[in-house]
Amino acid sequence: MFSKKITTWGTGALLGLGLAMGSVGVQAQTGNCEYLVTNDWNSGLTGAIRISNTGDSAIDGWSVSWEYDNNQVTNAWNTQLSGSNPYTASDMGWNGTIQPGQSVEFGFQVNKNGGEAEAPEVTGDVCAGGTSSSAPASSSSSVATSSEASSAVSSSLASSSVPSGGEQCDWYGTLYPLCQTTESGWGWESNESCVARSTCESQPAPYGVVNGGSSASSSVSSSVSSSQSSVQSSASSESSAQSSASSSSAPSDDLTFESLRNLAEFPVGVAVPAGNETNSILDDDPTGEGQREIITQHFGQITAGNIMKMSYLHNQRGNFTFGNADALVDWALSNNIGVHGHALVWHSEYQVPDWMNNFQGTEEEWVEALREHVIGVASHFAGRVDSWDVVNEAFVDEGYRTDSIFYENMGERYIEEAFIAANEADPDADLYYNDFSMENGQPKFDNAMAMARDFVERDIPIDGIGFQFHVFVDWPSTSAMREVFSEVVDLGLKVKITELDIPVNNPYSDNYSYPDNYISEYTDEAAQAQKERYCSIVEAYLDEVPPELRGGVTVWGVFDSDSWLIEQTFDNNHDEWPLLFNDNFEPKPPAQGVGDALMGLPCQ
């Protein structure tokens, strides 16, 4: 087995801020401004400017400027950028207010134009005095890994409501009140989450019940909490204007907990659109803001639903286009959210770049081309991505999928070559084989497991099996799921639910016949069945997979009407409600269902 970095989960675990530090902010009357290099490679870098309020009153709106000798900004996020050297960046409204002691950050990508990474001075009223200097990292290898970066941010979200004296629960690095009446799991008392004493005490050392906040507790970036609250207000006031919303009538539910991610020690993730995709989470509009609010509050990991696939990143041989993916990854890391990479190799025709589809070569030349892609991508994101779906959907029920350009040209060998290359490029990332319809066990699951066993025996670097879990309320049985989980566990591999969604309709069931017979409204009954189903899947996962093998649970999409299922499974015939949040960005009953399972409560 391969040694990996250790990452803990939950809000208290600061996941990969990814700051190649060396910055020196200059203390000023109201704030200081820091220029940070977050990733640095041959031709470019991604950077961030952090504005911290060191004064006594709130900063209300900000604008900063900087100038390079040779470097050039190619795109920016979480800010409105104007000018072209000097550049001026101002707030986007939702991140304009910075409370005392808090900070905001925005990011950008830079073309180095053949030169070095520069360390420009950042000026602006908010930098009070206008002097600031920084020293960029000298190479990408100095980018902090997620766990190393945790010391870079301070000021606690969770502990802010925790009294400084008396007993508290240090929950994997975050302080929570101990519940007064709740006897086990998580509770909701006095308008905040609390941890029952018995549950708190069950954590491994050095966590558990602590006195007076004396435990060394890591904490949450204050910039998350400040942007969260301002996003919340702007999203709730504007969300009804969202054009993509197909229905806002879905029942919402007040959650009994504050945050899904805080309930788990493993990543609770979500797939997101970004880059040029419709409903990009980085868009400066209510849909982007509403999603960012949900994600920062509830999820500890994201997967790019599309923009890290082959054709998006490597459309011409040797010419990688990382801008959109870098922006997404940097946004995630600067909000203490990890990233699961999807997917290094997927045969699906429209995911394979033309240069590869048209490639003519010997088997060895194909392997070389495949390695070039895998190494190019995985090394670029090394240190910033927790894990990868290395190969996606390589099997059919009968065995290897032969209608794959990779299989045609390299045979089954391409799979191990991809894993070997990914491990060379990023030895710390967890490497998964990912597929759908394995949740039901045989026969496809058997094919994948035969390969995994062979890999383990031959020391091919595989860390886990990714089960997509595009399932239904009535298929497959949870007992089948439990069996496949435990088979993977028996092999010593991690289990990750990578693409969970559960529509209320099952188009393959005898009960479904559009337009005559289908569920056309998100009724309380449908929501309840869906809630119990989400809960029982997570419950099965927790029961069967021991903590050290839990790769996480990711939901495939943020809000209902953005689900791929509506177009690709239901042919746009009708609405569907497969996810945890509705189109007004409110939690639905299944979000409570997932939380119930994570808190060890019965699924009901």
Mind telling me the catalytic residues?
393, 499
Residue 566's contacts (CB-CB under 8 Å, 6 or more residues apart) are 246, 572, 575, 576
CA pair distance 174, 168, nearest whole angstrom: 10
| 25 interacts with ligand 9MR by CB under 6 A | no
Residue 38's contacts (CB-CB under 8 Å, 6 or more residues apart) are 18, 19, 20, 45, 46, 47, 48, 107, 143, 330, 333, 334
Taking CB under 6 A as the criterion, the residue among 105, 426, 499, 532 binding ligand 9MR is 499
Q: At its nearest, how many Å lie between ligand 9MR and the CB of residue 340?
A: 12
Please give the single-letter amino acid code of residue 379: S
Taking CB under 6 A as the criterion, the residue among 305, 503, 551, 590 binding ligand 9MR is 305
Which is closer to ligand 9MR, CB of 392 or CB of 530?
392
DSSP-derived 3-state class of residue 27? coil
Helices 444-458 and 478-490 pack at an angle, to 10 degrees, of 10
Which is closer to ligand 9MR, CB of 73 or CB of 307?
307
Closest-CA residue to 283 (of 230, 224, 242): 242
Q: At its nearest, how many Å lie between ligand 9MR and the CB of residue 393?
A: 7
Question: What residue number has its CB nearest to ligand 9MR?
Answer: 564
Q: At its nearest, how many Å lie between ligand 9MR and the CB of residue 47?
A: 30
Which is closer to ligand 9MR, CB of 305 or CB of 552?
305
Q: At its nearest, how many Å lie between ligand 9MR and the CB of residue 568?
A: 6
How far is CA 507 from each of CA 280, 378, 472, 566, 581, rounded to the nearest angstrom? 28, 37, 9, 11, 22
Q: CB neighbours (10 Å) of residue 517?
A: 11
* Measured CA angle at 163 (ends 158, 166), to 5 deg: 120
Residues numbered 375 to 404 that lie near ligand 9MR (CB under 6 A) are 392
Q: At its nearest, how many Å lie between ligand 9MR and the CB of residue 470?
A: 6
Taking CB under 6 A as the criterion, the residue among 134, 140, 155, 306 binding ligand 9MR is 306
Q: Can you spell out the DSSP letters for 351-391?
A: GS-HHHHT----HHHHHHHHHHHHHHHHHHTTTT-SEEEEE
Closest-CA residue to 557 (of 585, 587, 584, 579): 579
Which is closer to ligand 9MR, CB of 201 or CB of 567?
567
Q: Can you spell out the DSSP letters for 442-498?
A: TTHHHHHHHHHHHHHHHT----EEEE--B-BTTBS-HHHHHHHHHHHHHTT-EEEEE
Q: CB neighbours (10 Å) of residue 202?
A: 12
HSE value, Cβ hemisphere, 13 Å, CA-based, for 586: 17
Which is closer to ligand 9MR, CB of 400 or CB of 564?
564
The answer to whether the bond into 427 is cis (omega within 30° of 0) is no
Which is closer to ligand 9MR, CB of 481 or CB of 500?
500
Residues numbered 217 to 276 that lie near ligand 9MR (CB under 6 A) are none
Residues numbered 338 to 367 that lie near ligand 9MR (CB under 6 A) are 351
Which is closer to ligand 9MR, CB of 45 or CB of 310?
310
Q: At its nearest, how many Å lie between ligand 9MR and the CB of residue 146?
A: 24
Residues numbered 415 to 474 that lie near ligand 9MR (CB under 6 A) are 436, 468
Q: At its nearest, how many Å lie between ligand 9MR and the CB of residue 433?
A: 13
Q: At its nearest, how many Å lie between ligand 9MR and the CB of residue 509?
A: 19
HSE value, Cβ hemisphere, 13 Å, CA-based, for 251: 17
| # binding residues, ligand 9MR (CB under 6 A) | 9
Which is closer to ligand 9MR, CB of 41 or CB of 436?
436
CA pair distance 58, 43, nearest whole angstrom: 38
Taking CB under 6 A as the criterion, the residue among 564, 574, 600, 603 binding ligand 9MR is 564
Could you list the residues that contact ligand 9MR (CB under 6 A)? 305-306, 351, 392, 436, 468, 499, 564, 568
